[in-house]
Chains A and B, each alone.
Chain A
Amino acid sequence: MALSTEQKTTLYRNLIRADEFNRMMYRRMMQGKLIGFYHPAEGAIAPGVAAASFLNQDDNLSPHHRGHGITHMLSKGIDIKYYLAEHTGKDTGCCKGRSAFHFSFPEHKVYMMSGFIGYNFAPVVGWGFAAKRRNQGQVVMNCSGDGSYGQGRAHEAMLMAQNWKLPVIFFCENNGMSIFSTAMEMHPKEHISSLADGYGMPSTIVDGQDVFAVAEACVEAIARARQGDGPTFIEAKTLRFNEHDIGTPDLSGWEERSEEEHASMREREPVRIATARVLDEGLLNQAAIDQIIEETKAEVQGVEDFADSSEIARPSVEELMDGVFAK
């Protein structure tokens, strides 16, 4: 589906924001200013931006853990300062500082992140079920990696979503890697989206380094789902420029990923690809781009200031116990 000028500008801005936020997270992790893990998103920021930029407020989003879903969440209009505060153990965090790196923005229909890869596949069926029952045109954007499609529950979810024509988009961000293991070795076929064939689910493969190409596929799948035509499988072919998570070696199998692999990956840097396109199409000029970058840097600074000036959460055990059950 062709994108409007406005849509393209939104995508470009969100891509720049995703890039800056990822840099900030990477830097903070290296500085010891983040709790737990960080799974850097460099090279892989375009799919999440495309998947989430054109969702409605009441659409469900399950972000991919790569980049800790920041790419996806900021594109859906979520203020990342509450997530950074969470990731730094602060009482202003989106989960009151008790979740480490797990996010939850129920008011934005981003319910949760869990540490179990593939956890998303069970609840997305329930969200799709509820959406269909309510019949308000709500859709479910279900983002996860190539590795997550190893889980049996991925297949259970595709089965049920297709049986019931649920408005669920299976959005696979295939970076070719699952920690040290390659998708080539872990899946029998080259394309993860070929799994959809077995369920009679329509599927498409897009260049995940090209935010506009991914967004075109997303806009189309969202429209299908909204009008009750059921699920679509989108496979965005993307890349992982860094190690799986900061501190883990960057292996393929049990050997270092090669210099050549890194060099050829970096030729497909998504911001560079998008910038060339917007300049080429005359969508934005360099001054406008510089302004977006400047505004984004200020936004990121504001997010860091908020997190850094918040207090470390120090509830008593009694206060915590009080939160175990809903009132």
Chain B
Amino acid sequence: MRTITFIDAIREAIEEEMRADNDVFVVGQDVRGAIFPHTKGLVDEFGPERIVDTPIAESGMYGVAFGAAQEGMRPICDFMFGGFSYVTFSECSVTTGQYHFLHGSQHPLPLVITAGVGTGQRLANDHAMSIHGTFAHHPGIKVAMPSTPYDAKGMFKAAIRDNNPVVIPWHMGIMMQKGEVPDVGDDYIVPLGSADVKREGSDVTVLANSLQLQHALEVAEKLKDEISIEVIDPRSFVPFDMETLLTSLEKTNRLVVVDEDWESGGFAATVSARVMEQGFDLLDAPVIRVTLPNMPVPGGYMEEYVAPNPERIEAAVRAVCA
């Protein structure tokens, strides 16, 4: 095992998959020069034919990925910031999600959509919004987001090898975070659709991902002598590993869902509804959600006033245990 950063783990996954499969390529804007480090240096090894920069034309850029995937290639479409994917939303959500199913489940669409997302940079809504909830709303697309370097490498590899469209954004707030990853050459994947218990506990379950997972772990450590918190990372939103969550609730009987997305219509709402439908008898208290309020994400200092943070998670944990 070595220790590398989260963003380097993503780069390694792309690099290794590109070496293993000549059909894997990256298409995006300024990915050769690398706006973010996960494509840094890749052009030196793979050349501009496989690390492809397009004009600022998201519809066309995504079209390259979509069409090439239909032709059997395995594109990774990099939108730079998650919000930019909305420029080509009809293609990357509607047409993408329906393609396999609506056309008789005959032909796969093996592509990856990635982008940096999340609060913490104070850049305001269009550079700060999450996209996982919106994509998860559109059936036919797998949606996942890693929280540690180990998961990042394994999940990106799984996404690239998957025969479906996979949206796998990464949170800018944890990009330089370090963690243990197997040595280069020790191939592994983290299967999409598997949640992970990141910390065991017995009083309450907190479901959280990416930057918010770090916040949840902080709270669990802080309250350890008072409240025993089990922290679960969903890792995948679609498909979602309900079994791991229900197993945890059998023990804790209380649930806080933290989601860096809007309260309305997001992943946290879906999980709460499913827990009510499938695990109502396990619950000793109503589920509490910690999310973004239903306003465009403000920029500047104001981001800090509205985003989920350790204080809000702690308050929710105390409330659900009260």
Instruction: Show the binding face of A for B, using Cβ within 8 Å.
Output: 35-37, 86, 89, 97-102, 114-118, 147-148, 150-152, 178-181, 185-187, 248-249, 251, 253-254, 312-317, 320-321, 323-324
Contact = CB atoms under 8 A, between A and B. Distances in A.
A118 B58 CA distance: 10
A99 B32 contact: no
A178 B299 CA distance: 24
Nearest to A256: B33
B294 A253 contact: no
Interface in B289-314: 293-296, 298-302, 305-306
B298 A98 contact: yes
A249 B295 contact: no
Contacts of B60: 150, 152
| Most A C-beta atoms less than 10 A away, residue of B32, B43, B59, B298 | B298
B301 to A, nearest CB: 5
A253 B32 contact: yes
B83 A187 contact: no
B300 A180 contact: no
Given A179-B35, A180-B33, A97 B126 contact: no
Nearest to A187: B55
B56 interface: yes
A92 B222 CA distance: 38
Nearest to B122: A35
Contacts, number: 127
B253 to A, nearest CB: 30
Nearest to B306: A317
Contact of B84 (A102, A116, A150): A116
A324 B295 contact: yes
Interface in B54-98: 54-60, 81, 83-84, 87
Contacts of B298: 98-99, 320
A316 B306 CA distance: 9
B246 interface: no
Task: Label chain A's interface by main secondary structure.
Answer: loop
B303 to A, nearest CB: 8
B32 A180 contact: yes
Nearest to B33: A180
A36 B302 contact: no
B302 A89 contact: yes
| Most B C-beta atoms less than 10 A away, residue of A99, A151, A152, A254 | A254
Contacts of A187: 55
Contact of A97 (B34, B81, B87, B300): B300
B123 interface: yes
B162 interface: no
Give 8 closest A-B pairs by Cβ, nearest first: A100-B299, A150-B55, A180-B33, A89-B300, A115-B126, A98-B298, A150-B57, A150-B56
A104 to B, nearest CB: 12
A101 B125 CA distance: 11
B153 to A, nearest CB: 23
A317 B299 contact: no
A315 B305 contact: yes
Given A150-B55, A251-B33, A324 B126 contact: no
B247 interface: no
B211 to A, nearest CB: 18
15 contacts: A35-B300, A36-B123, A89-B122, A100-B123, A102-B299, A115-B124, A150-B54, A152-B60, A180-B53, A181-B29, A181-B53, A181-B55, A253-B32, A313-B302, A321-B295
Interface residues of B, number: 39
B56 A320 contact: no
Given A116-B83, A150-B55, 7 more contacts: A35-B122, A35-B300, A100-B299, A115-B123, A152-B57, A251-B33, A313-B301
Contacts of B171: none
A175 to B, nearest CB: 14
B203 interface: no
A99 B299 contact: yes
Given A147-B55, A178-B56, A98 B300 contact: yes
A314 B123 contact: no
Given A152-B59, A249-B33, A99 B124 contact: yes
Nearest to B124: A100
A320 B124 contact: no
A35 to B, nearest CB: 5
Contact of A98 (B29, B53, B55, B299): B299
B30 interface: yes
A316 B125 CA distance: 18
A151 B298 CA distance: 26
A267 B109 CA distance: 51
A313 B300 contact: yes
A313 B305 CA distance: 11
A147 B56 contact: yes
B22 interface: no
Contacts of A102: 124, 299
Contacts of A117: 56
B278 interface: no
B30 A179 contact: yes
A102 B300 CA distance: 10
B75 to A, nearest CB: 19
A321 B30 CA distance: 37
A174 B96 CA distance: 34
A181 B57 CA distance: 13
B121 interface: yes
A36 B301 contact: no
Contacts of B81: 115
B30 A181 contact: yes
B127 interface: yes
Contacts of B293: 317, 320-321
A99 B298 CA distance: 6
A316 B33 CA distance: 41
B97 to A, nearest CB: 21
Interface in B10-40: 29-30, 32-35
